Amino acid sequence: MTLTRRNAILSAATLTGLPLLLPSQARAQEVGAGATDVNLEEWTLIDSLSDSFDTPLDPSRWHKGLWYPASGVGAFRDENAEASDGVLHLWARAERHEGRDHTFGAVESVFDTPGVRSYVEVRARALPSAAHVLSAVWLQSSNLDGQNALAADPNPEIDVQETFDFHAMTSATHIWPGNTEADHRSFGGHTYASAEDVSADYHLYGVERREGEVLLYWDRHLAWRLPAPDPSLWRMSRHVVLSLEGHLGRAHDPALPASFDIDYVHTYYRTPAQVQPDGDVRVLDPQGRALTLGSGGVTLSTSTGEDTHWHLRRQDDLTYVLSSPSGAVLGAASANGYAGGGLVATAAAGTGTDIAGSRYRWHVLSVEGGVRMRSKLSGLALSSGNGRPVTGEEEQATTWRIEALSPQQEELPSFVAAQKDNPRATILRGDWDGDGTVSYAVRLGSRVVFYNENRTHAPVVAAVSLGRPSDAVHVGDWDGDGRDTLALQRGQRVLLQTDLSSSATTEGNLADLDKVRRQ
Q: What is the largest CA-CA distance in the chain?
A: 75
Would you state the pLDDT for residue 170?
A: 98
Contact 486, 492 (CB under 8 A): no
Q: Which residues contact 152 (CB under 8 A, 6 or more apart)?
A: 141, 236, 335, 336, 337, 355, 377, 378
Give SS3 for 519.
Answer: coil
**Mean pLDDT within 231-257:** 97
**Mean pLDDT within 473-481:** 94
The yes-or-no verdict on residue 34 having pLDDT over 70 is no
Rounded Cα distance between 269 and 374, Å, is 14
Please give the residue that has the higher pLDDT: either 127 or 456.
Answer: 127
Spatial CA neighbour of 105 closest among 120, 93, 95, 119: 93
Would you state the pLDDT for residue 26?
A: 31
The yes-or-no verdict on residue 147 having pLDDT over 90 is no
**Mean pLDDT within 376-381:** 97
Q: Which residues contact 17 (CB under 8 A, 6 or more apart)?
A: none
Model confidence pLDDT, tens digit, residues 254-305: 999 999 999 999 999 998 888 888 889 999 999 999 999 999 999 999 999 9
Q: Where are the beta strands (DSSP E) in 6-127?
A: 43-45, 62-64, 70-71, 74-76, 81-84, 87-93, 102-104, 106-109, 118-125
Model confidence pLDDT, tens digit, residues 395-452: 889 999 999 996 655 678 878 887 887 888 999 999 999 998 899 999 998 899 999 9
Model confidence pLDDT, tens digit, residues 302-341: 999 999 999 999 888 889 999 999 999 999 999 999 999 9
Would you state the pLDDT for residue 12?
A: 37
Spatial CA neighbour of 172 closest among 223, 248, 212, 123: 223
Of 26-35, 191-200, 432-441, 455-464, the poorest mean pLDDT is in 26-35
Spatial CA neighbour of 117 closest among 237, 286, 261, 34: 237
**pLDDT confidence of 77, banded at 50, 70, 90?**
very high
For the chain, how many residues are written?
519
Rounded Cα distance between 164 and 134, Å, is 7
Rounded Cα distance between 107 and 103, Å, is 14
**Mean pLDDT within 19-30:** 32
Rounded Cα distance between 250 and 94, Å, is 11
Would you state the pLDDT for residue 423?
A: 84
Contact 77, 15 (CB under 8 A): no
Mean pLDDT across the chain, nearest whole number?
A: 90
**pLDDT confidence of 248, banded at 50, 70, 90?**
very high
The yes-or-no verdict on residue 152 having pLDDT over 80 is yes
Would you state the pLDDT for residue 35?
A: 52
The yes-or-no verdict on residue 468 having pLDDT over 50 is yes
C-alpha of 93 from chain center: 31
The yes-or-no verdict on residue 17 having pLDDT over 70 is no
Of 7-21, 124-138, 186-200, 437-451, the poorest mean pLDDT is in 7-21
